[in-house]
Amino acid sequence: MIVAGVDLGSATGKAVIMKDGDIVGYHIAPSTRHPVETAKQVMEAALDAAGLDSIEAVDLVLTTGYGRLKVPFASENVSEITCHARGAHWMIPSLRTVIDIGGQDCKVISLTNKGMVGEFLMNDRCAAGTGRFFEGIARGLGTGLEGISGMENQGPEPCTISNQCSVFAESEVVTLINEGNDFKNIISGVNLSVAKRLKAMVKRLGIIEGVALTGGCSKNDGLVHAVGELMGIEIKRLPLDPQITGAIGAAIIAGEKFEQASRTVA
């Protein structure tokens, strides 16, 4: 059985190929203006990584993410909340809370012991704390996203970033630079400000130990450290690229649906 999951986010597209429950190939690429084109690009690259000649070798494709309704070669689609829950639980079965930080939204998801969604909260009304927020800050600092992420760039005395709006926060960062503040303290202040917003969301939902971050922003080591320190918990690191969590979940669900359909036919 060969199945695939495609996650079309606002910033990146991801595709994962699974054979008999194991990942045999995946690919991540920046999103284009057209979800169909993004889906084709990541799927073709994932097929190539899996050593497969064409999509005809795949028994079932399931999509998730913002562009999930526009993929012609997919049989079904599922919400990204469900897919992130299933994907994260597949990697670490002991997880009970998933904090997903994507390109333009944040989600906090509580999991059952079977990886199903218990409850969730979502912030998609503004870019605060998302990938687009960090892109704006990196632009203001002139460091690139990798400069914000590295632990070696986290200062001991975080500057206060009071604005939650990404546009005003970027201006605030420029002001802090002009005032002569240490770059490292500004960077740690940025990550701490986002961690505080995430903590507020988690507090509303109620945190359950066994916590991991997913999405592209979870590659930000400074942010992961700030979240763990602020909440007083250990943030578990996923064994695979956290950016493909949703695509993994979509592939897992595709496998379950294919097996169910096979049993029905038999």
Could you report the per-residue pLDDT of 130-163, keeping only the tens digit for each?
778 888 888 878 787 788 888 998 999 999 888 6
Report the distance separating Cα 154 and Cα 9, nearest Å.
28
End-to-end CA distance of the chain: 15
Provide the CATH topology of domain 94-237. Nucleotidyltransferase; domain 5 (3.30.420)
Query: How many whole angstroms separate alpha carbon 16 and alpha carbon 248?
Result: 6
pLDDT at 169 over 80: no
Task: Name the band, by pLDDT with cuts 50, 70 and 90, for residue 126.
Answer: low
Order the strands of the 106-111 sheet from edge to edge: 117-123, 106-111, 97-101, 211-214, 235-236
Q: CA-CA distance, 14 to 24, in Å (whole number)?
A: 14
Once rounded to an integer, what is the mean pLDDT over residues 106-110?
A: 93
Percent of the chain with pLDDT over 70: 95
Give the chain's count of helices (H) and strands (E). 8, 10
Query: What pLDDT sits at residue 124?
Result: 61
Q: What is the pLDDT of residue 62?
A: 97
Residue 266's pLDDT is what?
A: 59
More confident residue, 108 or 137: 108
- Between the alpha carbon of residue 173 and those of residues 123, 127, 185, the distances in Å are 23, 16, 11
- The architecture (CATH level 2) of 1-92+239-266 comes to 2-Layer Sandwich (3.30)
For residue 265, what pLDDT is reported?
67
CA torsion sign, 221 to 199 to 248 to 23?
A: positive
**pLDDT mean over 197-210:** 88
Question: What pTM, to 2 d.p., does this model score?
Answer: 0.92
Domain with CATH 3.30.420.40 in the chain: 1-92+239-266, 94-237
| Cβ atoms of 202 and 89 closer than 8 Å | no
> What pLDDT, on the 0 to 100 scale, is given for residue 129?
65
Average pLDDT for residues 69-98, to the nearest whole number? Answer: 94
208 — pLDDT class (breaks 50, 70, 90): confident
Mean of the pLDDT values across residues 187-213? 90
Residue 59 has pLDDT above 70, yes or no: yes
Mean pLDDT (whole number) for 234-247: 96
The pLDDT, as a whole number, for residue 207 is 84
Would you call 219 exposed, middle or buried from its count of C-beta atoms within 10 A (0-12, 13-18, 19+)?
middle
164 pLDDT band, cuts 50/70/90, is: low
pLDDT above 90 (res 171): no
pLDDT at 83: 97
